[in-house]
Each structure stands twice: as C-alpha cells, then as structure tokens.
Amino acid sequence: MTAPLPGTALLDRATHERLTPGEIEALYHLPLPEVAAAAHHLRLTRRDPHTVTFLIDRNINYTNICNVGCNFCAFYRTRRQKDSYTLDFETISAKIRELEAVGGTRILLQGGVNPELDLDYYTGLLRHVKANHPTIRIDAFSPEEVLFMEKTFGLNLDALLDTLIEAGLDGLPGAGGEILEDDVRAGAAPARIRSDDWFRIIDAAQRKGLYTIATMVIGFGETYAQRAAHLVKIRDQQDRARRDYGGNGFSGFAMWTLQTEHTRLHGKAPGATAHEYLQQLAIARIALDNIENIQASWPAQGFKVAQAALYYGANDLGSTMLEENVVSAAGGHGRHRATVRELIRIAVDAGFTPAIRNSRFQIIEWPDAEAVLSRAEDNPEAARAVGAG
C-alpha cells in the first residue's frame, strides 16, 4: 500500500490531477484554509474568475401530500391533514405571472409523492405551463416523484420520460440526492428512493438531453468515507454522461446542510455547522473535477455564509427562488427568497461581477450593479421588494 501524501503535496496534486476516493477522504483531515485555497484556485481556473452567476426563478411545490414520509422532512402532509394541498393550474399560473413580472426564466416544480394524482395531472400541468408561459423553462419532478410515476402509471422509464418531455418538461432537478449511500438513506428515510434508482433515473434523463444538477445534503451523521463515496458516484455519473450523451451531464452541483426543526430527526441527527458546510463545499470543488458550476446555498446557510462560500469553491449563488417551502419548513435560515439586489450585493461586496444566468448556466444578462445598488439605497422599501432591481 502506498503511504498517503502529506497534506501540502495532496492539495498540490489536487490542482491538476483527479483524486482517488481515499485521497478525497483525506482532505477532511487537512486544515480548512489550505483546502479552501486549493478549491478557490480551481474555481478561478474552471470558471470565469471575475463572475458570480445566479438565476431568477421560483420554486413551486404543486402538492405537499406525500406518502414517502422521510424522517427529515417537515414539509409533507398526509391527505387527511387540514393544511394539505394540491394546487390547481390557475393558482400555479398566478405564481408564474409573479415570476414573469420580475424577469424570471425558470420554475422548479416539485411536490410530495401524492398517490391521488394521475398521469393526466402531471402532463396537463406541463402543457398548461408551456401554453400559458412559453418563455418559462420547466425543471420538474425529483427522481422520487419519477419513480412513483414509473411504478404507478404502467409506463417504463423511457416511455414515461418521453411522455413528460412531449408535454413540456425541460429538466429533472436532481433533488433527493442527500447522501447517495443506502446505509445513510435507510436511517434517515426508510421508504426513500435508493441510490441505484436515483442514478438510474438521472442517467435516463441525461441520455434524453434533460437538464439535471447533482445535489448533496450533509448532517445525517454520515462518515467522511460516505461523503467521499457520494462525490465519487456523482463524478462517475458525470464521466458516463459526458462520454455517452453528447456532453449532457450535470449542469451544476448544489449542496446544503440538513435542517431538522419540526422533523423526527430533531435532536437525533447532528446537522452541520458553517465550518463543515464550507469544508464540504471546498472538497466538492476539488473532487468534482468534471462539474464546472458549484452553487453556494443561502436558504440553509444564510446570506453571509453563502457569500463566504464564494471563496470556498462556489462560483454561483443559486437562485432568487421567490418561494421556498421545503428547507424553510425544517428551519432553514429564516429566508425563503432573495431579491435580485441582495444577490447582486453579495457578489459585488465579495469582489465579483454579478451575472444573471439561465438554468443551463448560460449568462443572459449583465445587470448594472451600481445602478441597482444605488437605487435601492435611495429607496429601502424597493430594496425589500421581490426582484427589486
């Protein structure tokens, strides 16, 4: 067995060579400032070093009824609970009109796994959004929801995805990744989609040219080896997708920390501190040498830590969201939305030029940051309005 490289040599090698699973695990034991410096160096070389991007979008949770019952979820309801809901298409349209009014380009449409919905609801919803909001991209349904549809509607995965794509689906968010090691998943959510199915569904989506991102949640009590294994599985999938599917793999990587308030894991799972979050983000940037875009997470960590994350490997601030119900139901950081001005300010104050992107991480607008920030200063109320600027 070869002896592990000392920390400095390992980080030096990480800046130009792929690390093994054991070497990724070793990064967790190195001083964070040194890991962060390597991650930031890689961020500067892999993406435009001057630019931080973000997306104007809205999360819409079309139903909160779910029969999976994850122990870490405070969002879901059973259908008998008074505050359970399923949104009708017009209510969803009204939410999208608010997004259009602030220049938004994408909705993230996800629900619980509601056993009362039939295929017509899903395809009808996609068709309704495409017909009434033709400029809005629809990234919808986690692998968990797709697995439910596959089991319920008598279609194999290929036929199901073709049906959803024909109805208007543009992308499949990679939600529900958490830690893609089944020992961790079984403890946190016994009925949760298993890692093989998660990758099988993501792989099929990438084969069909759909947008996907890779996700990760830390704080279940997982080991460093399990975190490293999660990253290596993501990296392997990205290699496969890029090789076999014309370069269409994960557009980005998003990672956040487990929130347990109001959940059955409260007091049982350790969660993760800001230090652990930044460490994990930096290690992801180093390990995922084939994913260019690494997102900072403000809903779980707050704006200040998200801004710091721009020096720990992140090149993107995620999105404004306008509405976030899942992380916030379990605590979050008290913020369910960000204004355009807030994200511009985070980027500018950290020394970067902000740019508005689409969901494929293509830049669609360079906002006049100086004008946006000075206008808000003159009118503090405007600064708080959704999408001000």
Q: How does strand 363-365 pair with strand 353-357?
A: antiparallel
Q: Token match 């998200």: residue?
A: 306
Taking the complex as a whole, how short is the minimal distance between the CB of residue 358 and ligand SF4, in angstroms?
26
β strands within 280-384, DSSP E? 294-295, 316-319, 353-357, 363-365
Q: Is 68 or 210 the residue whose CB approaches ligand SF4 more closely?
A: 68
Interface pick for ligand SF4 out of 35, 56, 73, 92 (rule CB under 6 A): 73
73 is in an annotated binding site: yes
Please give the structure tokens belonging to residue 27: 């990064």
In whole angstroms, give the CA distance from residue 93 to residue 90: 5
Q: Residue 117 Cβ, how far from ligand SF4 at the closest point, in Å?
A: 13
Minimum CB distance to ligand SF4 smaller for 75 or for 199: 75
Token pair for residue 177?
Answer: 């990744």
| DSSP tally for the chain: helices H, then strands E | 16, 10
- The least CB distance from residue 67 to ligand SF4, in Å, is 8
Q: Is 72 annotated as a binding residue?
A: yes
Task: Map residues 101-140 to x or -, x wherever contact with ligand SF4 holds by CB under 6 A.
Answer: -----------xx---------------------------
- Over the range 254-268, which residues count as b (16 or more CB within 10 Å of their CB) and which as e? bbbbbbbeebbbbee
Structural contact between residues 15 and 38, judged by C-beta atoms closer than 8 angstroms: yes
The response to whether 251 counts as a known ligand-binding position is: no
Task: Select from 62, 76, 211, 361 the one that contacts ligand SF4 (CB under 6 A).
Answer: 76
d(CA 59, CA 75): 14
# residues contacting ligand SF4 (CB under 6 A): 10
The full length of the chain comes to 389
Of 231 and 265, nearer to ligand SF4 (C-beta) is 265
Distance from C-alpha of 128 to C-alpha of 200, rounded to nearest angstrom: 28
Name the minimum Å distance from CB 302 to ligand SF4: 22
Is 374 labelled as part of a ligand binding site?
no
| Residue 84 to residue 327: CA distance in whole angstroms | 17
With CB under 6 A as the contact rule, which of the stretches 31-39, 73-81, 220-228, 366-374 interacts with ligand SF4?
73-81
φ/ψ of 2, rounded to 5, equals: -80, 145
| Nearer to ligand SF4 (CB atom), residue 103 or residue 221 | 221
Annotated binding residue 66: yes
Judge whether 221 and 258 are in contact, CB under 8 Å: no
For residue 260, give the DSSP letter: -
SS (H, E, C) 131-183: HHCCCCEEEECCHHHHHHHHHHCCCCHHHHHHHHHHHCCCECCCCCCCCCCHH
Show the site string, 202-241: x = touches ligand SF4 by CB under 6 A, - = not.
----------------------------------------
Q: Which of 111, 367 has the CB closer to ligand SF4?
A: 111
Binding to ligand SF4 by residue 144, rule CB under 6 A? yes
Please state, as a whole number, how many other Cβ atoms lie within 10 Å of the Cβ of residue 381.
8
Whether 142 has a binding-site annotation, put simply, is yes
Minimum CB distance to ligand SF4 smaller for 148 or for 312: 148
- Comparing CA positions, the residue from 156, 331, 362, 196 lying closest to residue 256 is 331
Kindly tell me which of 193 and 338 has the beta carbon lying closer to ligand SF4.
Answer: 193
Residue closer to ligand SF4, measured from CB, 57 or 144: 144
Per-residue contact string for residues 41-70; x = within reach of ligand SF4 by CB under 6 A: -------------------------x-xxx
Cα 30 to Cα 103: distance, rounded to the nearest angstrom: 43
Please give the annotated binding residues for [4Fe-4S] cluster, written as ranges.
66, 70, 73
Binding site for ligand SF4 (CB under 6 A): 66, 68-70, 73, 75-76, 112-113, 144
Please give the annotated binding residues for (3R)-3-methyl-D-ornithine, written as ranges.
142, 297, 319
Please give the annotated binding residues, written as ranges.
66, 70, 72-73, 142, 178, 297, 319
